[in-house]
Chains A and B, each alone.
Chain A
């Protein structure tokens, strides 16, 4: 769960689902920009960037948590 809203697709509400889609789409742009970047590294970078939207950051944390890629204080509650 990322928020209290009712889950609609993939266990996410419509807002977080939109964020998830955007995360997946933009990964290709990051790969092209850096040549080689893993999905985990991509998500970790996004979490640190102030430009990342709240919903996108929350989904990034959730994915990392599921993959066990990040277990810091900020993501443990998700």
Chain B
């Protein structure tokens, strides 16, 4: 009997082949697809990889991309729909041929909605309807033992609910994305006769709205004054900081009164409170938490972190990362993992300490994911030298895992109350860690500030050396960064753990947002304004959340995919109709923003050295060559110009030449090679040549 096993990625297929084979697996190639043949007892197994999704949603009939609305859709091979996937044609042909020789089928893609869908589609369309007789392997790590166990315990049918939920999400996202994006893109094109892709989507719209609304809060912020009292006291000649009992004083008069009444006077220690605070270990990592932590410590964007986590997972160094669980069940084998980690000299001592405990019980959080546990290290050693960023993320996962098994930390805090006269109370705070507990395992990712106070007794006199009132002003709420935006999306229950980071990336790619501290571009402001005006539902978080709830009910078997898609279409139809009716108005509003954006992309920030007017990237109508020219050419006849590379994509950087101060230009070639250059120095270099 021959079994065909479908994996999600080539690396996963290789790992599975190595795990299942009695002897060395044999590698074969067919129509460009590398697959593996293994013998396991008397069974012959063919293991072939996918490359993520091989099938995607597209309009049922071939229709021009500019036509909308589009309601009829079907699943098609990705190579037919998207450019750059031609080699998948051969892959699908190879899978088809391999399927003809097989009698038993298994979906061994990652165990989540995407993995279930990838396998289901291949089995259904490329393997001649084998989805009806296929089984499912479920695993959370790509270790030999987990994979063998998953193969032995393979289910006798596919996880249809997960696959249906995945299908539904893709279909609804396609319907919303295509129709809304085409509606606004076409409106702008009709009005201005110029084409620019403007996209929005079911999750993208509300996410962009968060950013735009935060920017409004920042832009209209009117600071309000308040005062804090800053105090330095002397205790037995040792100077230390104290704080006034009222954190903020709302009037200048009150602040001045406190200073006048207290400065250079002495107070008496009225109370000393000492208490021990128990600090529990952190919860194990779910995807959102590790993305936040990696941003906090390494400034890695959520999508970068996810990419690294996926690489580590494919090398069987950590468990499946797309999880929302904060649970570590005993079945993962705590002791075996720690023993594995002990083989690494860096973790040897810490692991040994944990292993010496009579029982191992991790601290767990509330979040639960039925498909996978929290992210944990497998305890295996890397088989190659990891890149620095990969090492850092693996270290973070490992130390967090160990910390969850350690004892709570204990911190001793001291609060000294000083009274001046009848009216004024001041506090001095001290703190120190008396029992490090889990913090020892999680260093350097945890730090507690320690303040050691001199010896103080009740009734002791304290001299107020310096008392000042500091004028301060309220600050606007902070702009989002990729990590805080991801948390906001999770709190608002929009998107999924697997797609949120990607949505943030799309906002950058579409030119809607800029910078690490995220600021919306004028185009983003306009798109949100237009959507709020003509189809407020699309940027309404609660509407998106309701759809998410419906989709998650498909996973539980409580809702049918078809019903949810119909419901989503019913909601979308009037929105698209309204956009169509107001096409002119929408087009006018967006065209102006697009024009501004285009101008911004081609306008240099340094002025013309010759006349002081603005420099721009210009393309000659006659020669079709691009160059930097002065906008004063049409005003004062300024002829200043600088050459630019003629091949590749040009981007004006926010960086300036260290030699001449001119704005730097980045050129990215067709093979992705980039060149950063200074156009002015380039010309001067030429001039200097004899």
Contact = CB atoms under 8 A, between A and B. Distances in A.
Interface of A: 4, 15, 18-19, 22-23, 25-26, 29-30, 32-35, 46, 49, 51-56
B475 interface: yes
B219 A30 contact: no
A55 B434 CA distance: 50
Contacts of A29: 224-225, 250
B219 A56 contact: yes
A30 B473 contact: no
Interface of B: 216-226, 250-253, 473-476, 592
Contact of A33 (B219, B250, B476): B250
Nearest to A33: B225
Interface of chain A: mostly helix, strand, loop or mixed: helix
A51 B220 contact: no
Contacts of B476: 51, 53
Most buried by A among B225, B250, B592: B225
B223 A49 contact: yes
B252 A26 contact: no
A15 B252 contact: no
A49 B221 CA distance: 11
Given A49-B473, A51-B475, A51-B476, A56 B221 contact: yes
Nearest to A14: B529
B225 A34 contact: yes
Q: Which 7 A-B pairs have the closest CB atoms?
A: A53-B221, A55-B219, A51-B223, A19-B220, A53-B219, A26-B222, A33-B225
Given A26-B224, A29-B224, A34-B252, A19 B475 contact: no
B216 A15 contact: yes
A51 B218 CA distance: 9
Given A22-B220, A53-B220, A53-B221, 16 more contacts: A15-B220, A18-B220, A19-B219, A19-B222, A22-B222, A29-B250, A30-B225, A32-B250, A33-B226, A35-B252, A46-B223, A51-B475, A52-B221, A52-B222, A55-B219, A56-B221
Nearest to A27: B222
Query: Considering residues A30, A46, A53, which has the most beta carbons from chain B within 10 angstroms of its beta carbon?
Result: A53
Contacts of B224: 26, 29-30, 33
Contact of A46 (B222, B252, B475): B222
B250 A53 contact: no
Contacts of A4: 592
A55 B253 CA distance: 30
Contact of B222 (A15, A23, A32, A35): A23
B220 A55 contact: yes
Contacts of A25: 222
Contacts of A15: 216, 219-220
23 contacts: A18-B216, A22-B222, A25-B222, A26-B222, A30-B224, A30-B225, A32-B250, A32-B251, A33-B250, A33-B251, A33-B252, A34-B225, A34-B251, A35-B251, A35-B252, A46-B223, A49-B223, A51-B221, A51-B223, A51-B476, A53-B217, A55-B219, A56-B221
A47 to B, nearest CB: 11
Contacts, number: 63
A30 B473 CA distance: 11
Contacts of B220: 15, 18-19, 22, 53, 55-56
Contacts of A18: 216, 220
A77 to B, nearest CB: 16
Contacts of A51: 221, 223, 473-476
A54 to B, nearest CB: 5
Contacts of B225: 29-30, 33-34
Contacts of B226: 33
A53 B251 contact: no
Contacts of A56: 219-222
B252 A54 contact: no
A40 B473 CA distance: 18
A22 B217 CA distance: 11
Contacts of A30: 224-225
Contacts of A54: 218-219
A4 B526 CA distance: 12
A49 B223 CA distance: 8
A25 B475 CA distance: 16
A26 B221 CA distance: 10
Contact of B218 (A23, A26, A34, A53): A53
A35 B475 CA distance: 22
Contact of A52 (B216, B223, B253): B223
A52 B220 CA distance: 8
Nearest to B474: A51
Most chain B beta carbons < 10 A, residue from A4, A15, A35: A15
Contacts of A19: 219-220, 222
Nearest to B252: A34
B209 to A, nearest CB: 15
A26 B224 CA distance: 7
Nearest to B472: A51
A22 B474 CA distance: 14
Contacts of B251: 32-35
Nearest to B596: A4
Contacts of B218: 53-54
Question: Counting chain A CB atoms within 10 Å of each CB, which of B224, B474, B476 scores highest?
Answer: B224
Contacts of A46: 222-223
Contacts of B474: 51
Nearest to A60: B222
Contacts of B592: 4
A18 B217 CA distance: 10
A51 B220 CA distance: 10
